[in-house]
A = this chain, B = another copy of it.
């Protein structure tokens, strides 16, 4: 039985996990959770029984549901270690996890849809841009000390799985990415990798057809 990924095409946290599944060549089925229709989507009784946070993604794998994207990435790494998404050396692993956390705890939670709803309507774009720029400024500095071809050296890692989706969102919010040359250079590498392309929002079964171009 294939793993089942509860996912929303536009969700950056879902994209992180989709990338890891493709990177590790793990076939899976997508079960779409429509975040724009919470009653039948993330707040349905059926989904809340699986994931009490009402967030996506959830991965059903090895007979169990696992929630929270970074927890899922680590589970995949520990049960299906190759191809790897973490280096072997403890300090190199720390570098990957530092970047993961800068994105997953320092950036993603603040501009997201759920939080925007509690900010005055005409201040939402400014809110999003403020937090993304403040996070990306720190991230750009950090990457100056860690990056090679990718976020940490020349091997793809969990950090890259987190970076591309965040930049996709930033572009959608008209963040001027010319301020971040290292981030931009890494992203242009990632956008050529098959696992990242397969995991792209526009290539998901629940993406609206006018965007998916199918």
Cβ B100 vs Cβ A71 within 8 A: yes
Which chain B residues lie closer than 8 Å to A64 at the CB level?
Answer: 91
Q: How far is the CA of A104 from the CA of B105 in the complex (A)?
A: 6
Task: Determine whether A98 belongs to the interface, using a CB cutoff of 8 Å to chain B.
Answer: yes
How many residues on chain A are close to B (CB under 8 Å)?
40
Q: How far is the CA of A91 from the CA of B62 in the complex (A)?
A: 9
Q: Which of A55-82 contact B (CB under 8 A)?
A: 55, 62, 64, 66-72, 74-75, 78-79
How many whole Å from A176's CB to the nearest CB in chain B? 19
Residue of B nearest to A67 (CB): B98
Task: Determine whether A127 belongs to the interface, using a CB cutoff of 8 Å to chain B.
Answer: yes
How many whole Å from A16's CB to the nearest CB in chain B? 12
Task: Determine whether A22 belongs to the interface, using a CB cutoff of 8 Å to chain B.
Answer: no
Task: Determine whether A212 belongs to the interface, using a CB cutoff of 8 Å to chain B.
Answer: no
Task: Determine whether A41 belongs to the interface, using a CB cutoff of 8 Å to chain B.
Answer: no
How many whole Å from A64's CB to the nearest CB in chain B? 6
Which chain B residues lie closer than 8 Å to A52 at the CB level?
Answer: 137-138, 141-142
Task: Determine whether A1 belongs to the interface, using a CB cutoff of 8 Å to chain B.
Answer: no
How many whole Å from A179's CB to the nearest CB in chain B? 14
Q: How far is the CA of A78 from the CA of B34 in the complex (A)?
A: 38
Q: How far is the CA of A130 from the CA of B119 in the complex (A)?
A: 13
Jot down 14 A-B pairs with beta carbons below 8 A, ordered by A.
A64-B91, A66-B94, A67-B142, A68-B97, A70-B101, A70-B105, A71-B98, A71-B101, A74-B93, A74-B94, A75-B94, A75-B97, A101-B104, A105-B109
